[in-house]
Structures are given as structure tokens and as C-alpha cells.
Amino acid sequence: MCQHQPPCPSADSADREAAHPVAHHPEQGWSLLCNGVLLFDDTGELLPDGKIVAPHRPSGTRHVTTAA
Ligand SMILES: [Zn+2]
């Protein structure tokens, strides 16, 4: 799937997020990486095999909605 040289990390690699985005939809809050990973703005991921990775970015950089 990835055409880059050197090849980007594969979807099952620990640094899969370092792959190049091939589609970016900030208004929808996700990017598709060239290794097939769907990366969400909250750092959650959807892998090509359907596996879900929970958001893992340290708190402080994303908007948190507080229940009033
Ligand atoms: Zn690539």
C-alpha cells in the first residue's frame, strides 16, 4: 500500500503513526495513513484489520468537553 522510499512503518509497527497521511479530513477529525491506519485527532486509531487502538496522547493538547 505504501509507495514511499524508505517504506513507512507498517500498520502493526509501534511507530505506525509516523507513516505519511494520504487523506486528511480535519473537519471530520481523522487522517488516513499510507499504511492503511485511520488516525483520529484524539490519537485513537483504526487499524486495517479492524482493530481499535484507544487514544493515547497525554492530556493537555486536546479539547475536553466538560459536562456542565
Ligand atoms: Zn508511506
Query: pLDDT digit string (tens) for 20-48?
Result: 999 999 999 999 999 999 999 999 999 99
Question: For residue 60, how far is its CA from the centre of ligand 1 (angstroms)?
Answer: 29
User: How far is it, in rounded angstroms, from Cα 48 to Cα 46?
Assistant: 7
Q: Give the residue from 7, 18, 5, 8 showing the smallest Cα distance to 45.
A: 18
Question: For residue 36, how far is its CA from the centre of ligand 1 (angstroms)?
Answer: 9
Q: What is the mean pLDDT of residues 8-18?
A: 94
User: How far is it, in rounded angstroms, from Cα 17 to Cα 26?
Assistant: 16
Give domain limits for the chain: 20-53
Q: pTM score, two decimals?
A: 0.78
Q: Backbone phi, then psi, for 24, in 5-degree steps?
A: -125, 125
Residue 56: pLDDT band with limits 50, 70, 90 = confident
pLDDT of 17 over the 80 cut: yes
Question: For residue 4, how far is its CA from the centre of ligand 1 (angstroms)?
Answer: 4
Residue 65: pLDDT band with limits 50, 70, 90 = low
User: How far is it, in rounded angstroms, from Cα 35 to Cα 9?
Assistant: 7
